[in-house]
Chains A and B, each alone.
Chain A
Amino acid sequence: MNKILLVLEREFLTRVKKKSFIIMTILTPILFAALMIVPALIATMDDTDEKNIAVIDDAGIFEGKIPETEYLKFTFLPNIKVDDIKETFDESNYYAVLLIGKMVASSPDAVVLYSDKQPSIDITSHISRSLKNEIESQKLLSYDIENLDEILNNIKTSIRVRTIKWGKDGEAKESSTELAMGLAYILSFIVYMLIFLFGTQVMRGVIEEKSSRIVEVIISSVKPFQLMMGKILGIAAVSIVQIILWVILTFGLVTVASSLLLDKPESISNQDMITNVMDASGTAQQVPDSITSDNGFAGEMMNALSNINFTLIIGGFIFFFLGGYLLYAAMFAAVGSAVDNEADTQQLVMPITIPLILAIIVMVSGLRSPDGNISFWFSMIPFTSPIVMITRLPYGVPTWELILSGSLLIITFIIMTWLAAKIYRTGILLYGKKHSWAEMWKWIRFN
Chain B
Amino acid sequence: MNILTTTGIEKRFVNHLALDDVSISVPEESIYGLLGPNGAGKTTLIRIINQITGPDKGAIEFNGRPMEADDIYSIGYLPEERGLYKKMKVGEQALYFARLKGLSRHEALKRLKYWFEKMEIQGWWDKKVEELSKGMAQKIQFIVTVIHEPKLLIFDEPFSGFDPINANLIKNEILDLRKKGATVIFSTHNMSSVEEICSHITLINKAKNILSGPIDEVKKNYGSNIFGVTLKGDIDKVKGSLNSNYELISHTEEAGIVKAQVKVHKFSADNELLKQLIPVAEILGFNQAVPNMNDIFIQVVQEYNKAQNQK
Enumerate chain A interface residues (CB-CB to B < 8 A): 3, 6-7, 10, 14, 18, 208, 212-222, 429-430
Contact = CB atoms under 8 A, between A and B. Distances in A.
Given A429-B52, A429-B53, A221 B101 contact: yes
Interface stretch (B25-33, B80-88, B190-198, B292-300): B80-88
Contacts of B148: 221
Interface of B: 47, 50-53, 72-73, 75-79, 81-88, 96-97, 99-102, 141, 144-145, 148
A220 B83 contact: no
Given A3-B100, A6-B99, A429-B53, A220 B85 contact: no
B97 A218 contact: yes
Contact of A213 (B72, B82, B101, B144): B82
A221 B87 contact: no
B97 A217 contact: yes
A219 B148 CA distance: 14
A10 B144 contact: no
A70 to B, nearest CB: 60
Nearest to B72: A220
Contacts of B85: 14, 208, 212, 214
A212 B84 contact: yes
18 contacts: A3-B100, A212-B81, A212-B83, A215-B83, A217-B78, A217-B79, A217-B83, A217-B141, A217-B145, A218-B97, A219-B52, A220-B72, A220-B101, A221-B73, A221-B97, A221-B101, A221-B148, A430-B53
Contact of B88 (A14, A213, A215): A14
Contact of B50 (A3, A18, A216): A216
A342 to B, nearest CB: 15
Contacts of A3: 100
Contacts of B83: 212-218
B84 A214 contact: yes
Contacts, number: 63
Contacts of B84: 212, 214
A222 B73 CA distance: 9
Residue among B79, B85, B100 with the highest chain A CB neighbour number at 10 A: B100
A430 B13 CA distance: 12
Nearest to B69: A223
Given A213-B83, A214-B84, A6 B73 contact: no
Given A6-B99, A208-B85, 9 more contacts: A212-B81, A213-B79, A213-B83, A214-B83, A214-B85, A215-B83, A216-B83, A217-B141, A220-B50
Contacts of A10: 96
Residue among A10, A18, A429 with the highest chain B CB neighbour number at 10 A: A10
Nearest to A226: B100
B100 A6 contact: yes
Contacts of A7: 100
A434 to B, nearest CB: 14
Nearest to B87: A14
Contacts of B99: 6
B144 A220 contact: no
**Top 7 A-B pairs, shortest CB-CB distance:** A213-B83, A214-B83, A217-B83, A221-B100, A221-B101, A213-B81, A220-B72
A7 B100 CA distance: 8
B88 A217 contact: no
A102 B247 CA distance: 127
Contact of B86 (A18, A212, A215, A221): A212
Residue among B75, B99, B102, B144 with the highest chain A CB neighbour number at 10 A: B99
Contacts of A212: 81-86
Nearest to B71: A220
Contacts of B88: 14
A212 B81 CA distance: 7
Given A6-B96, A6-B100, A220 B76 contact: yes
Contacts of A219: 50-52, 72
Contacts of A14: 85, 87-88
A6 B76 CA distance: 19
A216 B97 contact: no
B228 to A, nearest CB: 45
Residue among B73, B101, B145 with the highest chain A CB neighbour number at 10 A: B101
Contacts of B78: 217
A216 B86 contact: no
Nearest to B51: A219
A430 B99 CA distance: 26
Given A213-B81, A215-B83, A221 B96 contact: no
Given A14-B85, A14-B88, A429-B53, A216 B77 contact: yes
A439 to B, nearest CB: 13
Given A217-B77, A217-B79, A222 B87 contact: no
A316 to B, nearest CB: 35
Contacts of A430: 53
Nearest to A428: B52
A216 B79 contact: yes
A278 B128 CA distance: 44
A219 B72 CA distance: 8
A218 B85 CA distance: 11
Contacts of B75: 220
Nearest to A430: B53
A7 B101 CA distance: 12
Contact of B102 (A208, A216, A217, A221): A221
B309 to A, nearest CB: 29
A218 B141 CA distance: 12
B162 to A, nearest CB: 19
Contacts of A216: 47, 50, 52, 77, 79, 83
A112 B101 CA distance: 84
Nearest to A213: B83
Contacts of B86: 212
Contacts of A222: 100
Contacts of B81: 212-213
Contacts of A213: 79, 81-83
Nearest to B102: A221
A418 to B, nearest CB: 19
B156 to A, nearest CB: 10
Contacts of B73: 220-221
Nearest to A429: B52
Contacts of B82: 212-213
A310 B51 CA distance: 52
Contacts of B101: 220-221
B138 to A, nearest CB: 12
B68 to A, nearest CB: 13
A3 B73 CA distance: 14
B75 to A, nearest CB: 6
